[in-house]
Structure 1
Amino acid sequence: MKKLLLFSLIIAFYFPSETNAQRKKSKKNQTTNVKTTQKKKTPTYSDFVKKETKTDEGLFKVHETNNTFMYEIPKSYFGKEMLLVTRIKDIPAGLGGGYVNAGSKINTQVIVWEQYKNKILLKVKSYNAVANDSLPIYKSVKANNLEPIIYAFDIKSQNQDATAVLIDVTKFFSSDVKAITGLPSFYRKTYKVKRLDASRSFINSIKSYPENIEVVQDFTFDADAPPSNKRTNTITLRINQSMILLPENPMMPRIHDKRVGYFSIGNVDYSSEALKADSKRYIRRWRLEPKDPAAYARGELVEPVKPIVYYLDPATPDKLKKFIKQGVDDWQKVFETAGFKNAIMAKYAPTKEEDPEFSMEDVRYSSIRYVASTTRNATGPSVSDPRTGEIIESDIIWYHNHLRSYRNRYLLETGAANPSARTLNTPAADIGEMMRMVISHEVGHALGLPHNMAASFAYPVDSLRSGKFTQKYGIAATIMDYARYNYVAQPGDKNVRFIRQLGPYDHYAINWGYRLIPNANKPEDEIKTLDKWIEDKANNPMYRFGGQRFDPSAQTEGIGNDQVKASTYGIKNLKIVAKNLPNWTSNQTNNYEDLSELYGELLGVWNRYVGHVTGNIGGVYEFNKKPEQTGNVYVNVDKKRQKESLIWLQNNVFSTQNWLLDKNILNKIDESGYTERFLRYQNRHLNTLLNTNTLKRMIDAEVIQSNFYPASEMIRDLRKGIFSETNSLKNVDVYRRNLQKSFIQKIETLLIDKKAKNTDISSIVRGELEALKYQLNTASKRATNRITKYHYKDCLVMVNNILNPKN
């Protein structure tokens, strides 16, 4: 009996009763059913948009609840094209080497929001390839240009009338999403960036405006080599993401023509009737439409429906505001040439009391930002519609220290002929005029105009010494050239303008790009009229556009149509400045800091004047034309001008320039390094002359031009000039010794340059080395000065090693 009882107890322990089991099962099922019911509950709008939620009305409603951000996207916006612009809002010191600043644009891309099942997809759309959507080939273009998805969002809920969806964008904007990063791969590599530290990164703010949404991200990265505060191993950036709704009705684009300078956008059009895809380019410009089209058509000046307005940064110093405003307003007269009055203007930003909703981040407002930076520069970036080239907004940037550059250049380049420049305390009116013209230059960029370096070649050199001419035409035909100062004017010239200004090309280019052409319904309808406007001015150098490359008539910082003559005037003035530099600097300040700074920049000015002449040798003029115009597109500089330029270089560069090497300055600013510094400048021009591309252009000239300067003759002339001491008993000074060795080293590199292989270059170099060997051998025997003798023998060894390498 006891055994039976014990057995029953054991069975009961291991196998619960059916009743208990059913009870537990029932409870488990109840729990499961409760959980299932909870899972199946559909979240409602009020679960995300609560009483404590802050809502910002605008393009999309933006809801914030305890640092969680939601976008309420109207379904009507699905598929609509928007521009996503990534900028740096605030920046650590030194990032990008000083030329990246608060406001710098990192990336621009067209995006669309699309629904796919229960997801909202953010896609990047490309306009590199296009086709009319009514044509069969449109399907192929779409199939071969699949749009990347940069993020997929879960749909959290809909609004009450189901016209909009809610998505959570918190993770998207607080993560290191490469497609919208403010720290591109180049910077990550340079600064050895490891990762984004989520604990020190967050969304600063999201604000919605009628046409855009602005997101500010505070991101902190771990980095082994940050640009500043290196011991922190940290880079912190404030990044701004602008999402801008593109115009519903795109502006009719204007076809780009390289004979007139405009920034442009391009695509490949598969709708073309040509036997290939047609590459098209459109100029970048603002949309200006007349308020009164009938009056505009009659040739009357008419205000635009929407003028171009720039707001001044409240951080701008009060004393400078009027000059910045003038720099913008100066373009009003230019736009009148295109038929518009009051087309562009600058305004002071409203106060909070005047307009509490005003923000410099709002895409409806373009701005001129004043940046606290030691960088000496200014920029004129803009954001444009990639479909048409329409400029949507622009933020011109002025760096605080930029005026220092202008003061120094003003003193160095005009001080000989301009008494008001002979001081470190430049008159306020002069500083203001300089700033005004810099702003005008940057506004020109923001209007779509690139640099036009050929404009300074339009004026005869001696006209730049005329007060009447320069007061009317300035010192270059456009503000878009880098012709900052009149360094040609000589002491005694009367009423000469020294600072640049807007010129005739600016009126011409704005008219060409902005004047409306009647009865033109598509871009192709405008071509005939646009061509005529160009051809009417084609023979006048004031209206020529040229880009800087191999063309000596399109160089930065040059003025006048004769580089040799202009640089001769410039150096004549510079000698006067060099002689007086201590009187205008250290003698006034009782320290040598400004003297040291200005002497270094004086060498830079001399170097630029020299560079303008160097460009003539192997230079090719470029005259952009269409076949119906007469004349060649490419014309080599004639032999006489090239030989004249080389003689000038021998006298003003390769000969020792004692006026530049004044011991009364050198022994006040540095303990050593004078010879090395001067050689660096000489080498720049030596390298240009003995550059493979320069020599190849000279060799090619033999094929297309009768009056050419042979490369062999140029190198021979260069060698004879640089080693002229070998023809006499004259001792070689230290500067010339350095230069002569440098010449040998440079021509040695031509023998091993792969681009020079199988060309005449190696033949010419070997021939010149043999001639030099004979010169050095003879000279070393005649030399009486010990260091000169040693130098010749050293050069002889160098030449022999090149001609007869041991390996």
Structure 2
Amino acid sequence: MKKLLLFSMISVFAFQTEIKAQKKKSKKEKTEQTSTKATPKKSKTPKYSDFVTAKTKSDEGLFKVHNTNNKFIYEIPKSHLGKEMLLVTRIKEIPAGLGGGYVNAGSKINTQVVVWEEFQNKILLKVKSYNAVANDSLPIYKSVKVNNLEPIIYAFDVKTQNTDSTAVLVDVTKFFTSDIKAISALPARYRRTYKVKRLDASRSFINSIKSYPNNIEVVQDFTFDADAPPSNSRTNTITIRVNQSMIVLPEDKMMPRLYDKRVGYFSLGNVDYSSEALKADDKRYIRRWRLEPKDIDAYNRGELVEPIKPIVYYLDPGTPDKLKKYIKQGVDDWAKVFETAGFKNAIMAKYAPTKEEDPEFSMEDVRYSSIRYVASTTRNATGPSVSDPRTGEILESDIIWYHNHLRSYRNRYLLETGAANPSARTLDTPAEEIGEMMRMVISHEVGHALGLPHNMAASYAYPVDSLRSGKFTQKMGIAATIMDYARYNYIAQPGDENIRFVRQLGPYDHYSINWGYRKIPSAKTPEQEVKTLDKWIEEKADDPIYRFGAQRFDPSAQTEGIGNDQVKASTYGVKNLKIVAKNLPKWTSDQTNNYEDLSELYGELLGVWSRYVGHVTGNIGGIYEFNKKPVQEGLVYEPVAREKQKEAMIWLQKNAFATQDWLLDPKILANIDESGYTNTMLRLQTRQLYSLLNTSKLERMIDAEIINPKSYDALSMIRDLRTGIFSEANYTKNVDVFRRNLQKSLIDRMGTLLNSKETKNSDISSILRGELQSLNFQLTIAKNRGVNRITKYHYRDCMAKIKEILDAK
């Protein structure tokens, strides 16, 4: 009974509790139902329509680019994941002074191969390196792969897929508005120089993103806080406009051509671990366009054949009408050169289509190479190109011409040819002659865009006196290639007739284009081409016209020089320059009734004189470089003959270190500046002095004695330099202010070298110490001669300087 009663009580309690719970639950369910009806539950999976709305502006191309209120989405086809693309970072617009004047708008900052890869629910943007490679069929390929892990630039969240699931959507807004070092246009050295602190996101934007069939172009406006900006210093700000080009690389790779330093080509290299040798091979490939003949059989028979895809440059619509034909000619001139390589109509320039003719045409589209005309005070032109790092294939090129560049050419035309060329003696150079200069500058830049670097040895191929011949210069020009810095014929003298004064394409251009671009039908690999390529070089090896030389320590490969004898060429050049200096006011200020042009041209005249002097200086301690393979006769490196170096020293003492009164005309100086003449002359003379007393040059001279014991040795050179510059100390002769400054500069330079760590344990310090002691003895006697007081004070000052140097620990 007690059990029954207890069970009944428990049952009643449980029943009541259940009723209460049901009432509570019913009330809760009702509330939830009411709430659900008021706010429908959202789906957790984002839809395509969440990102591409009626307000979205979409751009079709390599990837679809969607822009919704400046939020940018890439719609990446899954078929493009893993494909290799080239990411090129360029400066589109720069603040004044960035890079110290050595960086221009359009300058390329970085080029890297990237791939977009899927990982979990992210898309990774990775950099792929071709510095180390191996055939993927070999076991070592796996080792190369694991020892060259590819860095991840950025990881994007996958927002969603497109409607048919063939593409993924990622938001790139943050990527292109953040300071991502891998794609920054401010390298670390600029950040240090300008004391850059941070990117200011509030003043940084995506200017535009445009998608084309083979590339995507992003323009970014970045503003950085900087304590030492290159210009507008009070703003503590650097604003820079950056262009990011992402270009899909060809899946059918062009067969590369192996680089040979005997022929000038830009190149790219890698380390190939596929070699059977006992070490990895360093391989270099030349950079060139892909030219494939339409009719290979006709091409192999030696007929001229058009390429499947010619090289076409489009002229900037902003180019002044009066200049267009000259720019077009500068491109079209190369068509004849390509005929040497078997191609007809291989390269041409076209005028850009109007919006009506082609509304989709854009100069940013990688399918179109261009010649940009930039409204800038920069005096320059450049010929950059973008190439496939796997093969060297040039994919596109944008040549840049800066508006003020023609002024430089007008000025130098007057200064370098005015003595022998009456039409150059004016500030209003005839339009056809200005046009011819521009045409040749464009040809030079096109040469770069074709893969050709400067060939400074080409001007050394022609005898000096041949450049005074009208018949020779009209046919051969003034250098063997347009790729030399041989702009004008400054050798021709008054009275020489029918002279060509402006450079032109030459025989080396035909030779190098044939070597780099002619198809070799029997070769299926780059290695199989080498035998034929070597033969083409060796057939021309003894002719200086076909020699390639880089500007380093070789006096036969100097910038801005012409002729095969620098002493003789510079003698002609200085002789002409003296005529120009005498007539400079007559040709400038007397015509304009102001001194601005006179001041500008006088400053540039000093620069021209300094270049002529520098060509001669290069002979002293110079080493000729004749690149060759062991099957060719002769040495690769040959010191300049002792007699030639001695001749150069004598010339320098007379034409550089002696006071050049012809450069110091009071009618010019007193009308362009109130002071600074002595410092200007000292700076120019010191440039040559420092070039002679250069550690690398002196070490070369010491080493040259091993190759040729009769060479011009460092001791003889420094002694000749010292006795020439202090020649007055041997006589009772006053020293003028220019010579006093130069003599002190010589002592200072010798002291700097003597007390530097570089020369401490070499013969250089012994020679310098000995020559300073000899000079001190010489001045001890000279200071007591009957010279004027400033000269005596000067000698005593020089002796004090020497004592201080020799006493230094």
Output the TM-score relative to the length of structure 1.
Answer: 0.95
Distance 1:787 1:149, change over 3 A: same
Which of 390, 399, 403 is 2:402 aligned to?
A: 399
How far is the alpha carbon of 1:32 from its aligned partner?
A: 11
Preserved CA contact (<8 Å) 1:173 1:217: yes
Alignment gaps of 5+ in structure 2: 1-19
1:341-490 equivalences under 5 Å are 341-490=344-493
Number of the residue aligned with 2:762: 759
Distance 1:784 1:170, change over 3 A: closer
Number of the residue aligned with 2:722: 719
Counterpart of 1:142, as a letter, is K
2:526 aligned with 1:523: yes
Alignment gaps of 5+ in structure 1: 1-16
CA distance in 1, matches of 2:199, 2:265: 39
Which of 54, 64, 67 is 2:67 aligned to?
A: 64
Distance 1:334 1:31, change over 3 A: farther
Number of the residue aligned with 2:206: 203
How far is the alpha carbon of 1:720 from its aligned partner?
A: 1.3
Number of the residue aligned with 1:80: 83
Preserved CA contact (<8 Å) 1:157 1:165: yes
CA distance in 2, matches of 1:94, 1:38: 58
CA distance in 2, matches of 1:242, 1:386: 15
Counterpart of 1:587, as a letter, is D
Distance 1:224 1:743, change over 3 A: closer
Once the two structures are overlaid, the 10-residue window that deviates more, 720-729 or 179-188, is: 179-188
* Cα-to-partner distance string for 1:588-624 (whole Å, 9 max, x where unaligned): 1111111111111111000000000001011000000
Number of the residue aligned with 2:678: 675
Number of the residue aligned with 1:270: 273
CA distance in 2, matches of 1:620, 1:672: 40
Number of the residue aligned with 1:4: none
SS of 2:379's equivalent in the other structure is coil
SS of 1:330's equivalent in the other structure is helix
2:731 aligned with 1:731: no
How far is the alpha carbon of 1:60 from its aligned partner?
A: 1.5
Number of the residue aligned with 1:580: 583
How far is the alpha carbon of 1:29 from its aligned partner?
A: 7.8
Give the alignment's Cα RMSD to 1 decimal: 2.0
CA distance in 2, matches of 1:200, 1:34: 45
Which of 121, 126, 135 is 1:123 aligned to?
A: 126
Number of the residue aligned with 2:540: 537
Distance 1:197 1:428, change over 3 A: same
Counterpart of 2:437, as a letter, is M
Number of aligned positions between the proteins:
790
Distance 1:520 1:28, change over 3 A: farther
How far is the alpha carbon of 1:360 from its aligned partner?
A: 0.3
CA distance in 2, matches of 1:65, 1:31: 35
Number of the residue aligned with 1:140: 143
SS of 2:784's equivalent in the other structure is helix
CA distance in 2, matches of 1:554, 1:201: 46
2:661 aligned with 1:641: no
Distance 1:172 1:328, change over 3 A: same
Preserved CA contact (<8 Å) 1:71 1:169: yes
2:717 aligned with 1:709: no
How far is the alpha carbon of 1:37 from its aligned partner?
A: 9.8
How far is the alpha carbon of 1:547 from its aligned partner?
A: 0.5
SS of 1:42's equivalent in the other structure is coil
2:627 aligned with 1:621: no
CA distance in 2, matches of 1:564, 1:745: 28
How far is the alpha carbon of 1:47 from its aligned partner?
A: 2.7
Number of the residue aligned with 1:215: 218
Which of 326, 335, 338 is 2:341 aligned to?
A: 338
Preserved CA contact (<8 Å) 1:312 1:368: yes
Distance 1:156 1:456, change over 3 A: same
SS of 1:121's equivalent in the other structure is strand
SS of 2:662's equivalent in the other structure is coil
SS of 2:398's equivalent in the other structure is strand
Which of 30, 44, 53 is 2:56 aligned to?
A: 53
Number of the residue aligned with 1:774: 777
Counterpart of 2:151, as a letter, is P
How far is the alpha carbon of 1:159 from its aligned partner?
A: 2.4
Preserved CA contact (<8 Å) 1:99 1:375: no
Number of the residue aligned with 1:319: 322
Number of the residue aligned with 1:10: none
Identity of aligned residues (%): 79
CA distance in 2, matches of 1:633, 1:35: 89
2:649 aligned with 1:658: no
CA distance in 2, matches of 1:510, 1:657: 45
Counterpart of 2:315, as a letter, is L
Which of 526, 529, 553 is 2:556 aligned to?
A: 553
SS of 2:206's equivalent in the other structure is strand
How far is the alpha carbon of 1:38 from its aligned partner?
A: 4.9
SS of 1:659's equivalent in the other structure is helix
How far is the alpha carbon of 1:23 from its aligned partner?
A: 6.5
Number of the residue aligned with 1:192: 195
SS of 2:53's equivalent in the other structure is coil
Distance 1:231 1:259, change over 3 A: same
Output the TM-score relative to the length of structure 2.
Answer: 0.95
SS of 1:240's equivalent in the other structure is strand
CA distance in 2, matches of 1:36, 1:769: 95
Preserved CA contact (<8 Å) 1:85 1:242: yes
SS of 2:243's equivalent in the other structure is strand
Number of the residue aligned with 1:14: none
* Cα-to-partner distance string for 1:682-726 (whole Å, 9 max, x where unaligned): 111111111111111111111111431121111111111111112
Q: Which runs of 4+ in 1 moved over 4 A?
A: 17-40
Counterpart of 2:434, as a letter, is I
